[in-house]
Chains A and B, each alone.
Chain A
Amino acid sequence: MDLKLLLNWRLHLTVILASLLAEWIGILRIPMGPGTLLLLPLFYAFIIGVLLNPHLFSGMNRIIPESVSNAAGPLILIAILPFIAKFGSTIGPAIEQIIAAGPALILQELGNLGTMLLALPFAVLVLRMGRETIGATYSIAREPNIAIISDKYGLRSPEGIGIMGVYVVGTMFGTLYFALMAGYLASLDIFDVRALAMACGVGSGSMVAACSGALAEAMPGMRDELLAFSGASNLLTYATGLYVSLFIALPAAEWLYKRLSPTALQEARNENL
């Protein structure tokens, strides 16, 4: 971490101004079909950030030099921590409700294996992708998952390319997508909102923030309870996610891939001959 670059005042001033503008625009509700899309200030802050990013428009170098933008990565990890603390503070006071919902909370962790249920068959059968599929679909592709793939296959392998692709898409759009999906599903009224709140805990700080924030805005009456459930679920994912993805998800993705992929099936047949 290069302190001189990370303390660049233009970077922080830009962030503050972008945040103030985003907060001032506030939450927008857009009716869509049977539900409602919620647009949150964090979306606008991200979009303003991307538009001012010197790598996208070189003219922005005058505001924030490329070197500062390159060095700013660690700031995201640090900036999310106060939010995690705020999040945890919704759990403490609601501890009794959380213990009451314990079994649901623990078992829904298995739902995180759902990453591959839709995506893996689609990638292999429709898009005809190769082993990138395994890296791309075995997890939600956040830092701990990347560490596993990097350890096992290396990041230049097809599996590594797959996970880095989803990582990048997640970094760029994951937060926005989770908030839109959560807010919309809540407005459709199919699932118990508390179940949706637990589902928000996917093990990424900004994704869980956007997801549970959208739910809390959709159901303001249950705000505290929903935040507490999301926070508890996310904490469980932090604690168990690494092990679940290493010992269950990755072998499961390998297994499923071998059953579905035409090339893998071909190879298996050749070996048998």
Chain B
Amino acid sequence: MKTSDTATIDNQQLQELRPENQLGKTALLLAVVCAAAWIANIVNGAPLLQALPGMMVLYAMVMIGLGIGRVAPFYLPSVAWVSLVSILMTLPFFPGNGWIVEQLTHVNFLAVVTPVLAYAGLALTGREFTMFKQTGWKLVIISLLVFTGTFVGSAIVAHLML
């Protein structure tokens, strides 16, 4: 293992990567990735026009969440803020929640993720491929055990509690 190839992410880069720190750029890029999800949704979700309000609701929820993350007095990841906004807007007592939930049914749950994984596949860097070859099988085994451990661990606790 070569140490020089491993520092792919440092704290400063992590800061810069946080979407709430560059709201303008994020708004534009978010529109582009939403369009990709909107089109991917045609196959197993709904036709473009029918899904349009739902996609716009998602876009708005994300931007509101990022905005809150920007001004919040304490740190939570932007994904947590976005999640909280969307939970709040779909709670039974939120004004218009019926309409929001209805529009969102036209957006297929899995279709929104499909483009994310396409981006992920295309964005793997040379470093990641090299590192994968170098660290190789040992870390693959360890990683799969890590994933299995957390999943089965949580499932056992939840199963006993339910």
- Interface of A toward B, CB cutoff 8 Å: 1, 3, 6-7, 11-12, 14-16, 18-20, 22-24, 26, 40-43, 45-53, 55-56, 64, 66, 69-70, 72-93, 95, 101, 103-105, 107-119, 122-123, 127, 129, 133, 136-137, 140-141, 143-144, 146-147, 150-151, 155-156, 160-162, 164-166, 168-175, 177-178, 181-182, 185, 191-192, 194-196, 198-202, 205-206, 209-211, 213, 216, 227, 231, 233-235, 238-239
Contacts and interface: CB of A to CB of B under 8 A. Distances in A.
Nearest to A11: B122
A72 B123 contact: yes
A162 B34 CA distance: 34
Given A86-B58, A194-B162, A195-B158, A161 B3 contact: yes
A234 B29 CA distance: 25
Contact of B132 (A7, A43, A107, A169): A169
A116 B143 CA distance: 10
Given A79-B119, A110-B157, A199-B154, 17 more contacts: A12-B33, A15-B115, A23-B111, A50-B121, A74-B19, A81-B78, A88-B85, A89-B61, A119-B145, A155-B10, A161-B3, A169-B144, A171-B124, A173-B144, A206-B120, A213-B110, A213-B113
A86 B107 contact: yes
A50 to B, nearest CB: 4
B88 A147 contact: no
Given A23-B114, A24-B43, A42-B110, A79 B154 contact: no
Given A12-B32, A24-B43, A86-B107, A111 B153 contact: yes
Nearest to A174: B147
B125 A89 contact: no
A-B interface, 5 closest residue pairs, ranked by CB to CB distance from nearest: A49-B121, A114-B153, A92-B90, A88-B86, A111-B154
B85 A101 contact: no
A166 B142 contact: yes
A202 to B, nearest CB: 6
A79 B110 CA distance: 13
A115 B16 CA distance: 28
Given A3-B25, A81-B62, A150-B11, A105 B158 contact: yes
B7 interface: yes
Interface of B: 1, 3-4, 6-11, 14, 16-17, 19, 22, 25-26, 28-30, 32-37, 39-40, 42-44, 55, 57-59, 61-62, 65-66, 76-80, 82-92, 94, 97, 100-101, 104, 107, 109-126, 128-129, 131-132, 135, 138-159, 161-162
A72 B83 contact: no
B155 A191 contact: yes
A16 B122 contact: no
Nearest to B103: A89
Contacts of A79: 33, 36-37, 115-116, 119
Contacts of A210: 113
Contact of B7 (A7, A42, A156): A156
Nearest to B130: A55
A86 B36 contact: no
B142 A127 contact: yes
B6 to A, nearest CB: 5
A128 to B, nearest CB: 10
B129 to A, nearest CB: 6
Contact of B9 (A14, A76, A150, A185): A150
A55 B124 contact: yes
Contacts of B10: 150, 155
16 contacts: A42-B116, A48-B118, A78-B29, A84-B79, A84-B86, A85-B65, A86-B107, A91-B87, A111-B152, A111-B153, A123-B138, A156-B6, A160-B6, A173-B143, A178-B151, A209-B110
